[in-house]
Structure 1
């Protein structure tokens, strides 16, 4: 039996099994891909920055 451990993505809030861990937080593959292809001038870029800041807030809490 092949069980996949799911984590909640800090970006989209969905539970997924594929992605990366940064410090103690998880970013799913889909969000990671969208982030690296988002231009700085796009509105979504600022959302990603805000969500990523939560990694450091939670680490230092």
Structure 2
């Protein structure tokens, strides 16, 4: 059997990563997932994450 590791591009940081989750069609790496969950609404990064995650709802979003 071939145990080849698949590398995906994170839809948040846009870097190739091996470990993460899919939220609908958007791959989110483990590091970004952790950052998203722990970011407070008054943090500057919060609005960036909201914009990236909003892309999930748009019918033109593709990976």
For the criterion TM > 0.5, the same-fold answer is yes
Which segments of 5 or more consecutive residues in structure 2 lack a partner in the other structure? none
Quote the Cα distance in structure 1 between the aligned partners of 2:25 and 2:37.
20
The runs of at least 4 consecutive aligned structure 1 residues that moved more than 2 Å come to: none
Cα deviation for residue 2 of structure 1 reads 3.2
**Residue 10 of structure 1 corresponds to which residue in structure 2?**
11
Aligned length: 59
User: So what's the TM-score if we normalise by structure 1?
Assistant: 0.88
CA RMSD of aligned residues (A): 1.1
TM-score (norm 2): 0.85
